[in-house]
Structure 1
Amino acid sequence: MSFFSKAARSDFGSGIAIALLSLSYALSYGALLFTSPLLTPYIGYAITAALITTVVTGIAVAYLSRMKFSIAGPDSSSVAVIASLFFLVSQSLSDKGLQGEALALSTLTIMVLITLLTGVVMFLLGYFKLGNFIRFVPISVAGGFLAAAGCLMVSGAIVLATGLDPMDVSSFSEISDLQIIKLMAVLALAVFYWYVSGYIDNNLALPAAIFGSIFLAHTIFAFYGLSIEQAQEMGLLLEVAGETKLFVPATQAVWDGSVLTTFVEFLPETLAVIVVVGLAILLIIAGIELERNFDSDLNHELKIHGYAIGISGILGGFAGLVSLSRSLLNAEKRSRFPVAAFLTTVFCAGVFFIGGDVIALLPQISLAAMVLFLGAQIAFRWLFTTFNTIDRVEYFMILVIAGSTLYAGFIFGLGLGVVAGCILFSARASIVSIVRSQLSGEAYRSRIVRSTDEEEFLDGSHKTIRIYELQGFLFFGTAHNFYTLIKNQLENKDNDIRHLILSFRHVSGIDASAEQILQKIFYAADKYDCTVSTIELPKRDQLSLARLLRRSPALIADQNYAAIYDAMEAIEESMLREREFDTAGSLQKWFEQRFDSKSSAEDLIKVLNPKEFEDGEVICRQGDHSDEIYFLDRGRVDVVSHEIPGQPFRIYSYMRHTLLGEMGFVRNEDRSADLVARGPTVVYSLSREVYNKLEEERDPAIDALLQLVSVTLSDRVISANRTIAELQA
């Protein structure tokens, strides 16, 4: 395909627009870095650092990122934080006796250290796949930081243009006419940039407006007969001191004791830079994901940003990030090659090598207006636009964090944001109930089928059981609400609760304060003569609970079960021990109770064949044809499934005076599970051969058998309906 094809021309056209934007941002952000009066004469160093950052991070991200349309460079939020940090660093170095170019070089040396540390942290976050933890930062905390960064950019723009600090109201007391004119010009030009950016649908519009304002400024200077030197003296153009503008860390960095001690002194502020860079990467990538409707690998992007930022620091730049607006613009043009990154490199490198001759021609008003425009955009988005997009509590947090950051610095804002975020999360998480479901014993039965008299007794006793399936993470807020619920229900005498079952199957963790709440639940249960059983309570928490309750760990372990069914079985056994049952009653007596007719019982019992089994003996196997139906007289029979090879699973257990195998027998199907005797067991069986013979003879025993089967199935349907009704309640 020809280089001059339509697609190639589109790639080249969009690349020029993005490259000019990148160059404009680099010049503006570079000017923002050295707004301190102590550093302003050496602003060429800062602009050069911004150009290096644009070139290095742009190329690295374009070629290493999995988002092939990515365009990277200096980022507004991180530059604002670094600029405020440089202001403090320059003051500290000045207090230690450094002045002039030595102070500027020392400040840049500290910038190199900050950049390298930031790159290492970003790389490690990506390498150890910890990037997703950044996603847990509340939007209000990130918004507060970015709103403060936007305000700092606005403040820095005014300082750059007029030398007046908006954060210090007293500085406006002696404002000159020239400063007023410059301030008005900056505001007007920033509004013009905003209009061009928002209302003119052309990629070249904003770069053209920026370079047009530079040309207009020089036209005005020429009209009034101002030379370059005179304009610099009046503060209308950047005044660049010295001859060399290229800062090469390996040759010009200052590694004396004052620099290193100052770096250590400002490590907390460096942490703020790292946090803002991480948050900015997260928010930018999240924005790209949303706009382009795809999922990115945040850990990979953090890792390649670590590479890019580290190389930028080595070469004298600072932290550069992927740009949301320029990347989306590049994606919309469907560029097939990193043309934009290549052209950005060419343009920035051209300015870089020409150096001070070009930088000295830049009007302070144009650069300050660009910084003001970008900062106002960020501040407006987070301080005003979010009012209608997030709830009032989080919006209030944005205002508080932004205000505290501007007033007391990023470290205070960071601490406040973390504390406020934790409190907000705890408060909101406490509102969410940790009770996944709350049921009575009517809804959950054990996996044991019992005799009629025992089932009738348990039907009236199951309502004294309360089952709580818990979920999520148990901490002081959620656990205390649960304790209050339990306490109120125990105090309500109408509930008549005698047994509590607490399921921790869906609980992700329990903190120390929640363990103390569990201790209070056990004490409350003891007070009201109520037992507590736990389901899947972790071993560590069992030991902690035993220590808090001053009970034997073995006792706590005995009350912990693998499933709710197992706990229900233990509770049912304890209930049955409170009453004596006629366990020695004959099978015929059971039949008589079920039929209300002695003759029907006698008709059925006479055709049955008694069999005795020892513990573990298999009565019938899964997959065998259902040739017999069984009546359990004494002992216990487990129904064991082998659906998963090598992992036998007990489905149900049957106790005395129960019917087994009736479904497969009636439907003439293969056995779906084993029947295994547990302990000495006596069953009565009816073979299919005998059944068919009796059916042909119309023996009364057949009617009795079918009546027993229908009554048994009816009882099970009633029990299932009762459980469903309880679950739906």
Structure 2
Amino acid sequence: MGVFSVSFISKAARSDFGSGIAIALLSLTYALSYGALLFTSPLLIPYIGYAISAALITTVVTGLAIAYLSGIKFSIAGPDSNSVAVMASLFVLVAQSLNDSGLGGETLALATLTIMMVITLLTALTMFLLGYFQIGNFIRFVPISVAGGFLAAAGCLMVSGAILLATGIDPMNPSNFEALTDLQMIKLLTVCGLAVIYWYVSTYIKNSLALPITIFASIFIIHGIFALQGISIAEAQKLGLLLEVSGDTKLFIPATQSVFDTLTLATFIEFLPETIAVIVVVGLAILLIIAGIELERNFDSDLNHELKIHGYAIGLSGILGGFAGLVSLSRSLLNVEKKSRFPIAAVLTTILCGGVFMVGADAIALLPQISLAAMVLFLGTQIAFRWMITTFNTLDRLEYMMILVIAGTTLYAGFIFGLGLGVVAGCILFAARASIISIVRSQLSGEAYRSRVVRSPDEEAYLDGAHKTIRIYELQGFLFFGTAHNFYTLIKEQLEDTDDEVRHLILSFRHVSGIDASAEQILQKIFYAADKHNCSVSTIELPKRDQIRVARLLHRSPALIADQNYAAIYDAMEAIEESMLRERAFDAVGSLQRWLELRFDDNQTAANLFSILQPEEYVDGQVICHQGEDADEIYFLDRGRVDVVSHDMPGQAFRIYSYMRHTMLGEMGFVRRETRSADLIARGTTVIYTLSRETYEKLEKARDPSVDALLHLISVTLSDRIISANRTIGELQS
């Protein structure tokens, strides 16, 4: 057992060490490439050693911090291509602005690095606050098209930076290529060739060490070519083939070398909008990278925690002279199979980057510009290809066009203009898409959805024709100008349809999460349209705040709006039915025997049954029978009203149904010989005729025709209720 454990541990350690070496080499390669990209401005290239040192510091600090603090235990962090591309384009503008103000040489580089430090600390603070106040998940609401447009622009900027690093020509100005020299052409073609080789190796050779070995092999081959051609290191630097590093120190120490003068602060304020763009890109990159890890590994991470620890790591990096570093998707997934809890990859990366950092300018000066430019070109092309080409088959055409428009706008007018366009376009796209979604959860007519009041046959017959003038709309979601306007159009068309008269509207807000001001104004238009067509409007669970606002818009009393607001659709239907019945007079007293005659279709049988029923008068609130009692009576309601009230929920009485005149109650429990399932309570002065079980059994024993007639009445009554229920179910299903 002991031998097996040692063997397993040794195997796990070898596995972790192998992937750790690959990750360390990749991290070093990226650090060198991104550092070179950061200072692509011709004014900053002589001091590129500062940027490479800053990239090495970022790789070490963020790599260790995030490896230890992240909830994603296999996280590997370092400089991110997207944020570096944005900062690189920003530093070109910053350096030019500082130079126009009379600053030059190493002082200009230090002032630029000072602005970099401030941007880094602001980014760290923003990420920390987003995580600390648990609002980081709001980043998840950024549309993929907006994020993709930004990242596509970042990829294009990396491609531009690679060409600028290799040739010294800004590709954003095509006229510059007219003066392209033979040497610059050779360098450009070599960079493109190397980038293709890097792409082929990373795509078709699955060994994790293949790409870093290829990159370092290209560096040695280039030096071998220099040796064969008799080109010295100094001559290669003079020709722009190797990095030319000047200055005594290549380490930027913020505590002692920061330049906080008026010019630097004024320049920072001048480019504050671009700083916001950097922060936005960092936030989006963190979101997309973590989302990618979640999808690949099928788990959910705590985004707020990850933002907070990124705030720690980025802040520490800024204090020590680095910049924003983020968790890396590719390197983290390469590290996902590690067996040990010890962050071997992060430690090996620290040792390797630390060794290069200690050697300093001597090692940096040996780096061929074309190798680093090819790496930047390869990475930038990958990003741009992913968002501008691959998404063509994964996104719909509207979102894909948004990516291209936002990317093009960002490249042409800058990240702030692109950010503004992205926010506006995202909002418009969301509003347009949300407007397509119907806020009508269900649409019913009064013919299928009745109140919980059982009425006499003559009233039911009258309401059967009147119910078709009722429309019920159950609304859902958030009501804003887009969705509310579509609903208003629907209501207006139905009100104007002369072939389908609508006299009563019921609007249920039970499933509505919120209503904005513009939607309230559209509700006002619905009320006005209903008034114009002599149609009433009842609401269900309209919040008190919205009742007051609607009343104010309609110039009506809030009490009036409140009177038309009900707790349930059944209550609104009951109120509408009562208003309909008031339009016609019905025989209200002295007609129970006549009702029995109509139901039995035999006057003598009805008279015999009526003669043995026992009448009793109840006052308002008096209990006729209690839930749980034996069901030994059938009740015939002559006049008044009876509520069926259940106490199944302790401490909370619930009205199931109400019965009006010329109806029968308690027949199911009577026939099934069960106990009462609810209380029967009189509302107002109520007269009830009762048939006891004792009397019924006497009639049954005497084979009285009244028994058969009564059982037929019960079966017809139950059938009517089933038909009504089926009609409602069918309406809901449709």
Range class of TM-score, shorter chain: over 0.9
Aligned partner of 1:689: which letter? E
Matching of residues 610-649 of structure 1 within 5 Å: 610-649=615-654
1:603/1:700 contact within 8 Å kept: no
2:291 aligned partner? 286
1:557 aligned partner? 562
Counterpart CA distance in 2 for 1:292 and 1:164 is 42
Aligned partner of 2:168: which letter? G
2:29 aligned partner? 24
Matching of residues 647-662 of structure 1 within 5 Å: 647-662=652-667
1:213 aligned partner? 218
Counterpart CA distance in 1 for 2:126 and 2:630 is 67
Aligned partner of 1:301: which letter? E
1:412 aligned partner? 417
2:358 aligned partner? 353
Q: Which moved more, 1:59-68 or 1:3-12?
A: 3-12
Matching of residues 154-233 of structure 1 within 5 Å: 154-233=159-238
Alignment equivalent of 1:343, drawn from 316, 323, 348: 348
Counterpart CA distance in 1 for 2:469 and 2:618 is 36
Q: Give the TM-score, by structure 1 length.
A: 0.98
Counterpart CA distance in 2 for 1:600 and 1:295 is 74
- 1:373-394 CA deviation, whole Å, 9 max, x = no partner? 0000000111111111111111
SS of 2:507's equivalent in the other structure is strand
| Pair 1:519-2:524 in alignment | yes
Q: Which moved more, 1:480-489 or 1:617-626?
A: 617-626
- 1:447-505 CA deviation, whole Å, 9 max, x = no partner? 11111111111011000011111122222222222111111111111101111111122
Matching of residues 584-603 of structure 1 within 5 Å: 584-603=589-608
1:238 aligned partner? 243
| Pair 1:447-2:417 in alignment | no
Alignment equivalent of 1:710, drawn from 710, 715, 722: 715
Counterpart CA distance in 2 for 1:692 and 1:49 is 100
| Pair 1:299-2:333 in alignment | no
Report the alpha carbon displacement of residue 190 of structure 1 after superposing the two structures with TM. 0.5
1:17/1:204 contact within 8 Å kept: yes
- 1:646-696 CA deviation, whole Å, 9 max, x = no partner? 221111111111111211221122222222222222222223333334333
Counterpart CA distance in 2 for 1:357 and 1:688 is 110
Aligned partner of 1:286: which letter? A
1:546/1:556 contact within 8 Å kept: yes
Aligned partner of 2:129: which letter? L
SS of 1:678's equivalent in the other structure is strand
Counterpart CA distance in 2 for 1:273 and 1:574 is 64
2:386 aligned partner? 381
1:14 aligned partner? 19
Counterpart CA distance in 1 for 2:730 and 2:406 is 50
Report the alpha carbon displacement of residue 334 of structure 1 after superposing the two structures with TM. 5.1
Counterpart CA distance in 1 for 2:340 and 2:391 is 33
Report the alpha carbon displacement of residue 332 of structure 1 after superposing the two structures with TM. 4.0
Report the alpha carbon displacement of residue 335 of structure 1 after superposing the two structures with TM. 5.3
Report the alpha carbon displacement of residue 617 of structure 1 after superposing the two structures with TM. 2.1
1:313 aligned partner? 318
| Pair 1:486-2:485 in alignment | no
1:362 aligned partner? 367
| Pair 1:496-2:497 in alignment | no
| Pair 1:476-2:481 in alignment | yes
Q: Which moved more, 1:234-243 or 1:624-633?
A: 624-633
Counterpart CA distance in 1 for 2:152 and 2:590 is 82
SS of 1:237's equivalent in the other structure is coil
Counterpart CA distance in 2 for 1:711 and 1:440 is 25
Alignment equivalent of 1:576, drawn from 581, 596, 600: 581
Counterpart CA distance in 1 for 2:421 and 2:16 is 46
Counterpart CA distance in 1 for 2:199 and 2:247 is 35
Report the alpha carbon displacement of residue 333 of structure 1 after superposing the two structures with TM. 4.9
Report the alpha carbon displacement of residue 154 of structure 1 after superposing the two structures with TM. 0.4
- 1:33-84 CA deviation, whole Å, 9 max, x = no partner? 0001111111111111111111111111111111111111111111101111
2:50/2:250 contact within 8 Å kept: yes
1:243/1:356 contact within 8 Å kept: no
Report the alpha carbon displacement of residue 614 of structure 1 after superposing the two structures with TM. 2.2
- 1:338-359 CA deviation, whole Å, 9 max, x = no partner? 2111111111111122211211
1:114/1:270 contact within 8 Å kept: yes
| Pair 1:252-2:252 in alignment | no
Give ranges in structure 2 of 5+ residues lacking alignment: none
Q: Which moved more, 1:476-485 or 1:443-452?
A: 476-485
Report the alpha carbon displacement of residue 531 of structure 1 after superposing the two structures with TM. 0.9
Aligned partner of 2:330: which letter? S
1:71 aligned partner? 76
Aligned partner of 1:327: which letter? S
1:533 aligned partner? 538
Alignment equivalent of 1:687, drawn from 683, 687, 692: 692
Give ranges in structure 1 of 5+ residues lacking alignment: none
Report the alpha carbon displacement of residue 32 of structure 1 after superposing the two structures with TM. 0.5
Q: Which moved more, 1:315-324 or 1:671-680?
A: 671-680
Give aligned-pair identity as a percent. Answer: 79
1:131 aligned partner? 136
Q: Which moved more, 1:676-685 or 1:25-34?
A: 676-685
Counterpart CA distance in 2 for 1:303 and 1:623 is 60
- 1:239-275 CA deviation, whole Å, 9 max, x = no partner? 1111211111111111112222222221111111111
Counterpart CA distance in 2 for 1:415 and 1:363 is 39
| Pair 1:87-2:92 in alignment | yes
SS of 2:512's equivalent in the other structure is strand
Alignment equivalent of 1:668, drawn from 667, 673, 676: 673
Counterpart CA distance in 1 for 2:660 and 2:339 is 73
Counterpart CA distance in 1 for 2:318 and 2:605 is 96
| Pair 1:402-2:407 in alignment | yes
1:613/1:677 contact within 8 Å kept: yes
Counterpart CA distance in 2 for 1:585 and 1:390 is 73
Counterpart CA distance in 2 for 1:671 and 1:222 is 105
Counterpart CA distance in 1 for 2:692 and 2:92 is 96
1:264 aligned partner? 269
Report the alpha carbon displacement of residue 280 of structure 1 after superposing the two structures with TM. 0.8
SS of 1:642's equivalent in the other structure is strand
SS of 1:412's equivalent in the other structure is helix
SS of 2:548's equivalent in the other structure is helix
| Pair 1:438-2:443 in alignment | yes
User: For the aligned residues, what is the CA RMSD?
Assistant: 1.5
Q: Which moved more, 1:717-726 or 1:420-429?
A: 717-726
Matching of residues 114-125 of structure 1 within 5 Å: 114-125=119-130
Q: Which moved more, 1:45-54 or 1:705-714?
A: 705-714
2:13/2:339 contact within 8 Å kept: no
Report the alpha carbon displacement of residue 152 of structure 1 after superposing the two structures with TM. 0.1
Aligned partner of 1:434: which letter? I
Aligned partner of 1:149: which letter? A
1:449/1:654 contact within 8 Å kept: yes
SS of 1:648's equivalent in the other structure is strand
Report the alpha carbon displacement of residue 303 of structure 1 after superposing the two structures with TM. 1.4
